[in-house]
Amino acid sequence: MRKQLKEAKRIVIKVGTSTLIYPNGNINLSAIDQLAFTLSDLRNQDKEIILVSSGAIGVGLNKLTMDKRPPTIPEQQAVAAVGQAELMNIYNQRFLTYSQQIAQLLLTRDVIEYPESRKNVTNTIEQLLQMGIIPVINENDTVAIDELDHLTKFGDNDQLSAIVAQLIQADALIMLSDIDGFFSDNPNTNKDATLFSEINEINEELLQLAGGKGSRFGTGGMYSKLKAAERVLEHNGAMILANGQQPKIIFDILAGEKIGTLFIQLKKGGTLHD
């Protein structure tokens, strides 16, 4: 099953805050540089790359020398606005080192829900890929809210990355997290926890293993990652969950090496078609 990853041409990469920010709140410049190098080299191999990146609030907190998230939504959105600009500055600097142009897209869920705006987003991404540019996508934290019928939040960037992969019919979604893959239990507290090398369907048993919403398995939560994998599998795609501490691991994943957890249907799959 992993051999088909060698043939993947259109790939969505999702990186979480844990990849971009050290536990002490400082920016992990080494990881960001490695990510820029890896994705730029994949572009040099004529692969089409889309980056879904978290980290706006984390970078904003660092920029504003704040040691914790402020309590109110307006304050958090202000921090995100500062952080998104700073994050793109860092990405621009590092990607240009490798002569790779990037572009920023900030999305809200209502944009995806409406057919016309959905088409516009898809067309923009397609045009950027055609021009050899790497789109860097994040949720627009400054306006995204959940309010009655006005639903604008994706929930998290795990879901956003799966939706983007579906929109542009990606061959694979690589989700980099702070854990080596999906385990039978929390490997940080249970040394006997076993890694699932491959999962072919998302069922209630797996969702229970994930610990439900707000799981103990790191920042994004393993539950949300399984729900993202569920969307990918529903559209006949492939998703790999792996540790993002060293982003160059993407090379090994695309070489078909047995890394992380591969989510894929048992039958031979194609792309993430609607």
pLDDT, position 252: 96
Q: Please answer whether residues 58 and 68 qualify as being in contact, where contact means their C-beta atoms are separated by less than 8 angstroms.
A: no
Between 1-5, 60-64, 180-184, 211-215, the lowest mean confidence (pLDDT) is in: 211-215
Distance of CA 247 to the CA centre of its chain: 12
Task: Determine the Cα–Cα distance for residues 166 and 232; give it in Å rounded to an integer.
Answer: 7
Asked if residues 145 and 188 have their Cβ atoms less than 8 Å apart, the reply is no
* Cβ–Cβ < 8 Å for 138, 17: no
Based on DSSP, count helices (H) and strands (E) in the chain, helices before strands.
10, 10
Indicate the pLDDT class of residue 145, thresholds 50, 70 and 90: low
Q: Look at 181-185, 210-214, 232-236 and tell me which has the smallest mean pLDDT.
A: 210-214
Q: DSSP assignment, residue 262?
A: E
For the chain, what is the mean pLDDT?
Answer: 87
Of 161-175, 182-196, 218-232, the range with the lowest mean pLDDT is 218-232
Binding residue positions: 14, 54, 141, 157, 177-178, 219-225
How many C-beta atoms lie closer than 10 Å to residue 256's C-beta?
A: 14
Interval 9-25: pLDDT, tens: 999 999 989 899 999 99
pLDDT of 217 > 70? The answer is no
Kind plus residue range of the DSSP H or E element containing 17: helix 17-20
DSSP-H helix ranges across 98-149: 109-113, 115-130
Question: What pLDDT sits at residue 218?
Answer: 34
Would the pLDDT of 213 be above 80? no
- What's the pLDDT score for residue 189? 81
- Judged against a pLDDT cut of 90, whether residue 193 lies above it is answered with no
Contact 31, 44 (CB under 8 A): no
Residues 6+ apart with CB under 8 A from 144: 108, 109, 152, 153, 154
Predicted local confidence at residue 203, as pLDDT: 87
Distance CA 2, CA 4 (A): 5
Query: Would the CA dihedral through 121, 14, 131, 143 be positive or negative?
Result: positive
Asked if 184 contacts 253 with a C-beta cutoff of 8 angstroms, the reply is: no
| pLDDT of 245 over the 70 cut | yes
Rounded Cα distance, 13 and 157, in Å:
11
- What is the C-alpha separation between 199 and 237, in angstroms, rounded? 12
Q: Residue 153 above 60 pLDDT?
A: no
Least confidently predicted of 37-41, 201-205, 217-221: 217-221
Would you place residue 267 in the very low, low, confident or very high pLDDT band (cuts 50, 70, 90)?
low
Phi first, then psi, for residue 14 (nearest 5°) are -115, 125
Task: Evaluate the CA torsion angle 86, 87, 88, 89 in order and state its sign.
Answer: positive
pLDDT at 156: 78
Residues 253 and 152 sit within 8 Å (Cβ to Cβ):
no
Residue 204 is classified by DSSP as: H
Percentage of residues in the chain having pLDDT higher than 90: 62
Kindly list the structural domains of the chain, giving each domain's residue range(s) and its CATH number in brackets, ordered by start. Answer: 2-264 (3.40.1160.10)
Annotated binding residues for ATP, as ranges?
A: 14, 177-178, 219-225
Annotated binding residues for substrate = 54, 141, 157
The predicted model gives 126-146 an average pLDDT of: 87
Q: Count Cβ neighbours within 10 Å for each residue of 233-247 and write b for 16 or more, e otherwise.
A: bebbbbbbbbbbbbb
Express each pLDDT in 155-184 by its tens digit: 578 989 999 999 999 999 999 998 899 998
List the structure tokens of 39: 């994705």
Check residue 152 and give its pLDDT: 47
